[in-house]
Structures are given as C-alpha cells and as structure tokens.
Structure 1
C-alpha cells in the first residue's frame, strides 16, 4: 500500500469518476486504474464497484477505508511539512535536467509530485540531450539530471547512479504492421523510411551505430526534430523510428515492435561529484526513487523498463 494509491482512491471517492479523478491528480486514467487495482489486491477486497449505472461507487470495504485514507494522507502531509521546516525545505531551488524522452515518460509526473510535497521550492527544468546536460552539470548550471549512460561512460567529474535499464523499440503507425512476427531486425528496418531526431540525442547515435555495424545505410525520410516531433511524424505515417519504450505510454496511434537483436540503454541520475547536494536536491532524488519504485510495482511502465536496485547516495 502506498500513499499515492490512497490518494487515487480518495480522488475516485470524491468525484465519482475514474476519468475526472485521474484529471484531478494529474495522471492518465489507466495509471490511476492500475494503482487502484493494486491497492485492492494488496488489501484483499474490492474497494470500488465499477458496474453502477451512475458511475463508480464505494463498496462497504471502500466506505470503511475512506476516513482512514483521508487521515493517513493528512498525517503524511503534516509529516512532510514538519520535516521540511527542520531540514530547510521551506524554500530553495532545484535545477533539474532530463532528456526529452525521459521528460515525456517519467519526469513530468515526478515534478508534479515533488511540487505537491514541497510547494515553496523553485523548480527549473532543462530539456536537452545527454551531452549538453552533462556539460551543464559540470559548469554548475544544473543540480541534478537524468542522462543516458553512453558506451564510453559519462564525464569523470560527475557522480552517476543507474536507475533504469530500458529497451529501444521500433515505433510505427498503429495502422501499419512492420515485417516480422512480433519483431523486426535492422535489415528489415533498412527497407523502411526512417525518422531521426536531431543531433545530440543518444537514441539517434545508437540507431545510426546499429545500421553502421550491420553494414547498412538507413533510408532517412526526415531528421532533425525533437522527440515529440519524431513521434508525431511516425503517427502521421511519415516513417518508422527507433525510440525508448517509455515514450509509448498514452500514444495509441503508435505500434511498438521489438528490435531483434534487442538494444538497451541505461538511464542514470547524475550530479557533480565534488559538490554536496543541497537538502532540496536530496529531497528531489528521494521523490524520484520513490515514484519509480511505486510505478514499477504497479506495472506502470510501457514496454521493457527495469528499475535497477537503488543504493544510497550522499
């Protein structure tokens, strides 16, 4: 049982609709439904009757849980405020960096949760490729960043903490089905028009390296866009793209097909090794790790994304 699950349950009880409850807490409706189902499984009882003509209603078990859930959420908020005042989290700033695909797939929800927990801390977001983000950390322009670990490793001036191991898959329009039975190899992909993101994206370099190692030249239809533009071009039928599994969530117009052999990447949390992180930065790291743990426990990731074992960091 998590506080997030309880918050979703209370939201459904308050508005009487899964869709409006998801909107009120700022998540996709399938995510809220999965978390609520996980809570029911944990407690061993159905909390919401989903078959009513007037929308979802609480079962007797749900009615019994509701006041307890409200009290637990209130106590948790009070605990956060008390600790925040002690450790200086009533004010401050966290400058966060992330790649565009991670902004789409993870960070937006994490920033929302962090702002709810620490509303007086200023959040500044920089969205860019991993190499510019690493440079920003080294210069001191960023406090912490989600970056992709390249084969050569990251800048030695940085402390990195691996978080996710994520598969790259082929995105195609949902109306089309690429060659192969549930998978596609690089030779088959070479016969398809390809959409590539701009230079600086690790996924672009990984894609081109896979073609080069196979002795093939891709048929590039469009290149140079940001990740969201790449996905929209694929949805429109312009071509196929190699993208991280995280970006498929909430995009029904995209079909995900596994690359064979598979290609993976490691996502890490990075900061300057020679600087002691502020209380606010440490709190952001903790919020991120808790969110990832809750999400993977509820099966909330699209595709194959493995949350790596966490370790304590100063």
Structure 2
C-alpha cells in the first residue's frame, strides 16, 4: 500500500488561501470558515510539517516561511489535479466539463469575447466561462497561480513568461471626427496632429504604446484628456474635442453617442501590435483550456 501523507488537501487549500489573501481574516472569508478554524488548521499543518510554514505579525498580516513557500508551490498543482479529478468524474467520455476563467484586456473584449461565449459556449455547454476584464498589470501573478486560466492581451508588457499564441495583429490608427479636414485623406502623419489635442487612452500598455509612436519620430503630443475608457475616447473625438490613437477597429463608424468618426492609417506605417492568447507556463492546462486555445486559434478574426 502506498504511503498516505498525514496532511489533507483541505489543509493545503487553507495554506494556499492564506498565501494568496495575506491575512487570516481574508483567507477565512474566501474559504468560508471562521478565522479560528483556519488558524487551528495552520497550526496542525505546522505540527505535521515539523516546522513553521507561516509567520504572523500583528497589523502586518501573514507571510510564508521558506518552508511554507515550498509547500505552497507544490500544493497548487496538487489542488488543481484534485479539482480536475472531481470534474472528470462528472463528465461523459469525450465531454468537456468545468470552469474556465478568461482574462481579457478591456478594449479587446468586444472583439474576442463574443465568439468565445457564443460559439465555444454552444459547442461545450458544460464548460462554465467566467470573464475577468483586466489590464496587463492587473494580470500579474494571476496566470502563473492559475487564478486566470487563459487571457487575451496585446503582445507588449505581459507580466511573467506565459505560453502564448499570436491570433492577429493590427497597426494603430488615428481616430478623427468625421468632419475633420484631415479625415478626407487616405492617411494621417503624426506631424499633422501633434500640435492638436490628444484624447489619450490611459490604460497600460495602450498609453505607453501611443506615446512611443510619437517619441520614435521626435514628437511630444499635447494631451488634453486622459481616460481608461475606449468608448470615452471615441465619444470625445466624435464631439470634436481632439483626436485619438487606437488599435482596435470596431465596425460601427460612430461613437457611443452617435457622432460619426473616421479611422485613418498612420503615415509612414507603424509596426502592427500583436494580439495574443496566453496561459500558464508552469501549470499544465486541463483539456477544456487547451480546447479553448485551439478554438481561438481557429477563428478568422474579423478585426485582423
């Protein structure tokens, strides 16, 4: 008979919850038990391990010891495997079952999410798709920990070193009010707009990318407004309050309020920005996640 460890998966799950939450109270709320029960579980696990796994400091929360970090690192795949075991028991042969948490950069959501939620969802009705819109910096650590299974992002400034596949690529364009004289041309030079008011999409990495386009030509744009909302940029441009630099190209030629806008290529051409699907390089993805990645790669993206 194989050796059976003295610790339980539940104890490991509680330790991982504490590592992620940083405090006993928050971790207890996450796993829906009392703080005293969680503390007792950690003490039992320390005793079984023969060494402290956590350090608790009043007003400073809980941190892991080196032994605790080692246990958490190895506990994560064990817990993931145990969840997959239970999910697999509920599935018919060849059927995909279980949750997938999809991270998505906000401006990509209108392009990427509809075919995933509709087409992939219809093909695999027992897969629960959960959406988490997040900028690249907000995804940091969430892919590696398994909190987010797969994410759709721009190819720049992705935290960590995840696995990735290129889906499509688009160059940035200048967005103008439809009645702007520059909108009558085939393309727009950045030199022609640099002295105008820029409505900056201020969400990483979009803001850095936009500013880098000007910097590459020795230009400094005049920023009038900053907003983290893609539609707010389009609306302000539609009202004639400035121009925008955007990547995504919606089919609707009008702003949220109905003001017509025009998308114009930048001259000389700028390098395209890649849109990638990424997933963990340290956690072996379950079959349903692999199927979602394969499905995303098979789509002929209308924005590409």
TM-score bucket (shorter structure): 0.5 to 0.7
Which of 92, 109, 114 is the matching residue for 2:120?
114
Which of 213, 219, 222 is the matching residue for 1:219?
222
2:15 aligned partner: none
C-alpha separation between the residues in 2 aligned to 1:247 and 1:133? Answer: 24
Conserved 8 A contact 1:173-1:234: yes
Provide closer, same or farther for how the CA distance between residues 162 and 126 of structure 1 changes in structure 2, counting only shifts above 3 A: same
3-state SS of 1:170 partner: strand
3-state SS of 2:252 partner: coil
Provide closer, same or farther for how the CA distance between residues 175 and 85 of structure 1 changes in structure 2, counting only shifts above 3 A: farther
2:151 aligned with 1:148, yes or no?
Answer: no
Conserved 8 A contact 2:167-2:296: no
Q: Give me the TM-score of the superposition, normalised by structure 2.
A: 0.62
1:97 aligned partner: 103
Structure 1 residue 223, shift from structure 2 partner: 0.1
Instruction: Report Cα offsets for 1:129-184 as digits up to 9, x if no partner.
Output: 2232353212322000111112xx64453111112121111111222242783111
Conserved 8 A contact 2:177-2:183: no
Count of residues in correspondence between the two structures: 208
1:184 aligned partner: 188
2:246 aligned partner: 243
Conserved 8 A contact 2:136-2:158: no
2:278 aligned partner: 270
C-alpha separation between the residues in 1 aligned to 2:92 and 2:278? Answer: 27
Structure 1 residue 103, shift from structure 2 partner: 0.7
Which of 167, 173, 177 is the matching residue for 1:173?
177
3-state SS of 1:85 partner: coil
2:263 aligned with 1:260, yes or no?
Answer: no
Provide closer, same or farther for how the CA distance between residues 155 and 220 of structure 1 changes in structure 2, counting only shifts above 3 A: closer
Q: Unaligned regions of 5+ residues in structure 2, if any? A: 1-90, 255-259
Conserved 8 A contact 1:98-1:133: no
Which of 231, 235, 245 is the matching residue for 1:232?
235
5 Å matches for 1:78-89? 85-89=92-96
1:285 aligned partner: 293
C-alpha separation between the residues in 1 aligned to 2:216 and 2:180? Answer: 27
Conserved 8 A contact 1:161-1:269: yes
Conserved 8 A contact 1:97-1:144: yes
3-state SS of 1:248 partner: coil
Conserved 8 A contact 1:113-1:287: no
3-state SS of 2:130 partner: strand
C-alpha separation between the residues in 2 aligned to 1:165 and 1:215? Answer: 25
C-alpha separation between the residues in 2 aligned to 1:232 and 1:141? Answer: 34
3-state SS of 2:172 partner: strand
Conserved 8 A contact 1:186-1:211: yes
C-alpha separation between the residues in 1 aligned to 2:244 and 2:292? Answer: 32
Structure 1 residue 273, shift from structure 2 partner: 0.8
Q: Give me the TM-score of the superposition, normalised by structure 1.
A: 0.61
C-alpha separation between the residues in 2 aligned to 1:243 and 1:287? Answer: 27
C-alpha separation between the residues in 1 aligned to 2:141 and 2:201? Answer: 20
2:208 aligned with 1:205, yes or no?
Answer: yes
Larger radius of gyration: 2
C-alpha separation between the residues in 1 aligned to 2:160 and 2:293? Answer: 20
Structure 1 residue 186, shift from structure 2 partner: 1.6
